[in-house]
Structure 1
């Protein structure tokens, strides 16, 4: 079961969040903190205690805007936690949609919008519970990288491993998965740099593809293309040789 710390500077919002968390059967304990300073103090005790200590915290549900004497936001707290070897997981709970990409950069497990709905919070708890359970193995695996997308006014996180290819749309990018596509406000060049070590390769100024998802490489009259599922994508001359080399090395290795 989960040991939870909820952080929000608005007392009614914090009280409601704690009420919902304590009602979830996967939550063992849920404590509250009213500002970043109190949260960091409590998390410090948890880190000193270790993952199995009596003061341990598995996950922090963080508000983003928390005016106070320190000026620290929930994002600042998450950045500080990222510097520790075994920090608690982070779920952001906020009324603002515009910080989803920063949450993605900070590897948050989820991003829940206020007003918090019981069903949506339960989904976030489920994700945390699965990750905490997975990391109890002797050699814990890192949490899968995810990217936030907007679906009907709700922010969801799509695993990067589910993405077959990405299509440029100006300063936006469209992520294509087996389940559908999602438009995100981040340029293709930024995703190319971020996901280079995850097997994504640029094949055209408009497309970034997951190397492992390429089913066929086609050469037709000097033109090169790839097939991913039922989709054919053109490969520019600039990228064709590099792509062929990568596919050959992958096939031989």
Structure 2
């Protein structure tokens, strides 16, 4: 069983990484550090405790670009110890791979982290530490290979489908043009979010507001929040026709979910459910006009 430390200075990404690690049955514990100082303090305690001590760490999942010391700096510091923990770099940048492997990293995982890719990094860490591979269940039926058709077997191509046309029939030998697709047809009613290998489809109508978090966006609904790797500006463009308006560089709000508009000492804010969100000056006048038009139908 692995004892892991995840290091990332972006809190949403750190929480996502910890969720995936803690969901892996091969990981006995997974702690998080949100900056290099906290990470070094935790690793130093582990080294003082020893590999078998209560504070031991087997593998560090390390972001590269962080404020202060980078992940590469931390790896260089650890390389001076006799028995440092294993290093897996988890980063959004491909350009550091050569330096990472020069520092004896056992894997290099790109963001956004796919659960199956992280599972492979865990497998490599276990193999490096000498854990035996999982044994097959002797009572289970062996997997049979897919049947291969005989060489003489020929599968005929499928017959062309007859498509019933709407309106006048097309002349023989001609093709009817594809139907025009409207913007509404191209815009789905749901957005896919992934967490721990599970894809959920969140109804856009259930989203009250969206919060920018770096290259990601956090969707806030009445039932919780979901992280997607889509910039806020992209969602603003896609969902403008659905009543979402930009009120701040960090927030996009569904106009129909605004409960109150507050003016206090020259500052403007809105209440969306239990959340109070600031409105920037550049968006305040436009938002007031939109709310008035919305209220009057």
Partner secondary structure for residue 111 of structure 1: strand
Separation of aligned partners in 1, 2:130 and 2:20? 21
Please list, as runs of the form range in 1=range in 2, the aligned pairs for 1:232-251 lying within 5 A after superposition. Answer: none
Unaligned 5+ segments in structure 2 are 133-297
TM-score by length of 2: 0.44
Unaligned 5+ segments in structure 1 are 136-253
Separation of aligned partners in 2, 1:131 and 1:108? 11
Please list, as runs of the form range in 1=range in 2, the aligned pairs for 1:97-112 lying within 5 A after superposition. Answer: 97-112=94-109
Please list, as runs of the form range in 1=range in 2, the aligned pairs for 1:167-182 lying within 5 A after superposition. Answer: none
Cross-structure match for 1:171: none
Could you list the per-position Cα deviations for residues 76-102 of structure 1 after superposition, in whole angstroms to 9, with x for gaps in the alignment?
000000000000000000000000000
Give the alignment's Cα RMSD to 1 decimal.
1.1
Cross-structure match for 2:70: 73
Return the index of the structure with the highest Cα Rg. 2
Could you list the per-position Cα deviations for residues 6-52 of structure 1 after superposition, in whole angstroms to 9, with x for gaps in the alignment?
00000000000000000111100000000000000000000000000
> Given the alignment of the two structures, is residue 90 of structure 1 paired with residue 87 of structure 2, yes or no?
yes
Cross-structure match for 1:2: 2
Cross-structure match for 2:51: 51
Please list, as runs of the form range in 1=range in 2, the aligned pairs for 1:58-207 lying within 5 A after superposition. Answer: 58-67=58-67, 71-133=68-130
Separation of aligned partners in 2, 1:104 and 1:59? 15
| Offset, 1:134 | 5.6
| Offset, 1:53 | 0.1
Partner secondary structure for residue 133 of structure 1: coil
Separation of aligned partners in 2, 1:6 and 1:111? 14
Could you list the per-position Cα deviations for residues 172-224 of structure 1 after superposition, in whole angstroms to 9, with x for gaps in the alignment?
xxxxxxxxxxxxxxxxxxxxxxxxxxxxxxxxxxxxxxxxxxxxxxxxxxxxx
| Offset, 1:104 | 1.2
Partner secondary structure for residue 30 of structure 2: strand
Instruction: Give the number of the structure whose residues are more often helix, by fraction.
Output: 1
Cross-structure match for 1:191: none
TM-score by length of 1: 0.51
